[in-house]
Amino acid sequence: MRLKFMLFLYNGSSKLYAQVFKRNKKAWGLSVNDFLRYSENSLGYALGEFYRSKGFDIMPKLENHDVFHVITQTNTEIEDEVAMQYLLMGNGKRSLYMYAMITIGTFIYPEFIRYYMFSYQKGKSLSTFHHIEFKDYLARPLIEIQHVLYRKTTFQTI
């Protein structure tokens, strides 16, 4: 019952979030096959594999969120989606949507609070990335991006 409720909220709110809060953002306009055409060690290819292996559709204007899963190696179960919001909060992101997901997710899944706190600390320990448009980095090696992320240096160095 909790899972159905959270999936209902997440699926419904994601589309609304894209329409309201990302109305001025341009969708990447790439398909899964487009991503899979990047070299095998690249972020673009890893993102294509993420979509293919999970059976996910690309949600226009929300591609960066999926990149966050890839570069931080965060899973996509509902508790992982809440943990991702904690990670982003730790990384400095501030948004009404993020706070709502954290509040509702923590209330519905309190047994994951340690995981959420770990994710928050992980976000704090990483280079600030929540504001970066990763479309510009699709051809870059994933390992290089992760190295910058975990070394807590700036993305202008790659």
Q: Per-residue pLDDT tens for 58-98?
A: 988 889 999 999 999 999 999 999 999 999 999 999 998 89
Give the residue with greater pLDDT, 3 vs 115.
Answer: 115
pLDDT band for position 20 (50/70/90)? Answer: low
Residues in Cβ contact with 11 at an 8 Å cutoff, skipping those fewer than 6 apart: none
Q: Output the pLDDT for position 3.
A: 73
Give the residue with greater pLDDT, 25 vs 51.
Answer: 51
What is the SS3 string spanning 59-77?
CCCCHHHHHHHHHHCCCCC
pLDDT band for position 155 (50/70/90)? Answer: low
Q: Per-residue pLDDT tens for 26-61?
A: 889 999 999 999 999 999 999 999 999 999 999 888
CA atoms of 133 and 142, how far apart (whole Å): 15
Q: Output the pLDDT for position 24.
A: 76
